[in-house]
Structure 1
Amino acid sequence: MTLRGLSLLVAASALTLVADTALADPFKLKIACTATSDCASAMVARDQGIFAKHGLDADVALIGINTNIPPAIVSDSIQIGGPTSPVFLQAVDGGLDLVAVAGASVMDPAESKTIAAVARTGVVIKEPKDFVGKKVGAPGIGAFLHVLFRKWLIEKGVDPKSVNFVEVTFPTMNDALKSGSVDAVLTAEPFVTRIKAAGNGDVAALYAADLARADPIIFYAASRKFAEAHPDVIKAFRDSIAEAAPIVNSDREAASQSIAKFTKMPIDLVRLTKPDLAKPDLKGSDLAWWIETMKQQDMLQGTPDLDKLVLP
């Protein structure tokens, strides 16, 4: 073989390798999550060029309320969103043809103390029954924190219907407590620290720690139509998330920088709290506990098929 022939062969091999690991042309992909650390793997994948390396021109946008994610996916305003497990399951139960494509975050018993019900300063809540009659702000009715808190109330012998729940976005919880428009909020770090530092509230219950679960919090979902029509995009997305997740779990500074950039929270505040555990692997059976919990709360009309919830 001539030197020129050898050079051409090497070049062709290199192009084949690139084609195997990334899309031939950058695919514009719109992703959206709420202002939490749960989608940190997507934030890191964007900021560290991992999406770009896999051929994705990905934009990760902020969405105020988690329950707005499924409609945004169906309308094609976004192609991939980070719904909480309950929001996803309720959307599927309601007839939306959504499918999970990768895991984002899971509950970690060791870190669950970062989730809390925070009572407004001057509102006395010492035990579960003290929430009866109170107005409690949740970042999405039917979303993760709301369903988890209702599960905790049931476990403690309190009827969730005796509590008045309203929607309050994470960034506005501090002001909602300060103004007195709610008696308590269901939130997580770094918002807990921010509220306490402002003197507007304090922790009333570490309900997630009490439940001590290890189930999915948020995962990445798409419409089944989009996922099946773009298998190469889904593969590139999954590969990107699989590469970014270990960075989230091991490099706290890198994760904190990306979370602060996405949530618009001060970096010093974000650094105080370890992000939720990123776990890209997801299977249908991981959602069994959530289905059971939601049926207990009369949130599902049927029983979603575990075998169809996650894209193979």
Structure 2
Amino acid sequence: MRSLRRLTAVAAGIALAGSSLAACGGDDSSGSSKGLEHGGKITVASLPLVDGAALYIAQSKKLFEAEGLKVTIQPVQQSTAALPALKAGQVDVIAGANYVSFLSANDQGALHLKILNEGATLTSNMMNVIVKANSPIKEPKDLEGKKVAVNIPNNIQSLTLDAILRAKNVDPTKVKYVKVPFPQMSQALDKGDVDAAHMVEPFLSDAQKKNGDRVVVDGGSEPVKDMPISGYVSTQEFVSKNPKTAAAFQRAILKAQAIAAGDRKQVEQVLPGYARIPAQVAPVITLPGYPTSNNETRLQRVVDLMTAAKLLKSKPDIKSLLFTAQS
């Protein structure tokens, strides 16, 4: 992937250490490490997306503290921007990591991937292609030859959108994907820098509510409905050195995922704080699915789609990539 070849150049541009980390983290004096490695301390890089709601639910409900963990959260705009820091041990986990980019990094040997938890699955209208209300783009076919904003080219967005477009007899090779961070997509669309934006919640509903933007493609429709899109990823090196800490984090996130899946009000309460959206927008956004277990068959769908798109040199063993706590 083109974006992954340049990942090392991004490391200098991301501040993943220092005073900003402490502002979002847990108190070192609270709770007990319960014999966890590294005092139970974990630094998590997180995107401002609905995918990572469980991270903030776990923090607010003190689920991390209950496991003896001291979790520090570092906001980032793109999950791949944190990849060099993950490799360097500056962050231990990336929340909301899109599977395509990280499976590709693993495939290329740039990262020894370990998936701690599944994060989100696609639901209808949670990740749509939108255009301005007065745009001449009326249907998916009109996207051919047009510039469409995606957070990162050749990631889960373009992979799933390409599959949807092909199913609608649209040639995805004629769509020009443009790299735009999620928080800047609405502005890029307003300025005419792009013709359309493949936007995800919570930014999607915010743009529609504020600007009256119009949906031209449901990004959660067949053939990618319920497709896993992101998760909580780490490295083989981290989990091998810190198996008890990794297991404690996994347990806390699974509990928080169950809360998110069972009560959207809990998601609505944490979203405005970390996603920086108005509180009145939170109740109207479309939420993803929040898996409450890790499932090899579900993740295999991503691998199969990537293989068909020639984004992998070889099929990975999903079972070996999923972290399983030792009993």
TM-score by length of 1: 0.86
Residue 274 of structure 1: CA displacement? 4.8
- Tell me, in whole angstroms, the C-alpha distance in 1 between the residues paired with 2:237 and 2:80: 20
| Alignment match, 1:92 | 106
Give the corresponding residue for 2:12: none
User: What is the aligned partner in structure 1 of residue 164 from structure 2?
Assistant: 152
Distance 1:225 1:121 in 2: 49
Rounded Cα–Cα distance in structure 2 between residues aligned with 1:126 and 1:298: 30
State the match for 1:117 in structure 2: 129
Structure 1 residue 58 corresponds to structure 2 residue 71: yes
C-alpha distance in structure 1 between counterparts of 2:42 and 2:56, whole Å: 13
Local SS of the residue matching 1:243: helix
- 1:276-295 matched pairs, under 5 angstroms: 276-295=288-307
CA distance in 2, matches of 1:25, 1:158: 51
Instruction: Give the secondary structure class of the aligned counterpart of 1:282.
Output: coil
Larger CA deviation: 112-121 vs 210-219:
210-219
Q: Which secondary structure state, in structure 2, belongs to the residue aligned with residue 38 of structure 1?
A: helix
**Contact 2:164-2:224 within 8 A present in 1 as well:** no
2:91 match: 78
Check the 8 A contact 1:70/1:91 in 2, yes or no: no
1:105–1:253 distance in 2 versus 1, CA, 3 Å = same
Q: Which residue pairs with 2:214 in the alignment?
A: 202
Report SS of the residue matched to 1:197. helix
Bigger-Rg structure (1/2): 1
Provide, for residues 223-254 of structure 1, a one-character-per-residue CA deviation record: whole Å limited to 9, x for no partner: 10001110110111011112212221223222
Kindly state the Cα deviation for residue 79 of structure 1 after the two structures are TM-superposed. 0.3
**Cα gap change, 1:137/1:102 in structure 2, threshold over 3 Å: closer, same or farther?**
same
Contact 1:26 1:52 in 2 (8 A): no
Offset of 1:212 from its aligned partner?
5.1
Task: Specify the alignment match of 1:49 in structure 2.
Answer: 62
Question: How has the CA–CA distance of structure 1 residues 185 and 279 changed in structure 2, closer, same or farther, with 3 Å as cutoff?
Answer: same
Please say if residues 132 and 214 of structure 2, whose CA atoms lie closer than 8 Å, have aligned partners that are also in contact.
Answer: yes
Matches of 1:29 and 1:115 in 2, distance apart?
30
SS at match of 2:148: strand
**Aligned: 1:246 with 2:261:** no
Percent of paired sites with the same residue: 24
Alpha-carbon offset, residue 26 of structure 1: 4.5
- Aligned residues between the structures: 292
Deviation per residue, 1:77-110 (Å, 9 max, x gap): 2100131121221111111211111122223xxx
**Relative to 1, partners in 2 of residues 1:225 and 1:212: Cα closer, same or farther, differing over 3 Å?**
closer
Q: Report if aligned partners of 1:31, 1:81 keep a CA contact under 8 Å in 2.
A: yes
User: Secondary structure at 2:51's aligned position in 1?
Assistant: coil
User: Counterparts of 2:64 and 2:210 in 1: how far apart (Å)?
Assistant: 37
Q: Is the 8 A contact 1:139 1:167 kept in 2?
A: yes
CA-CA distance at 1:21 after TM superposition: 6.8
Q: Could you tell me the TM-score, scaled by structure 2's length?
A: 0.82
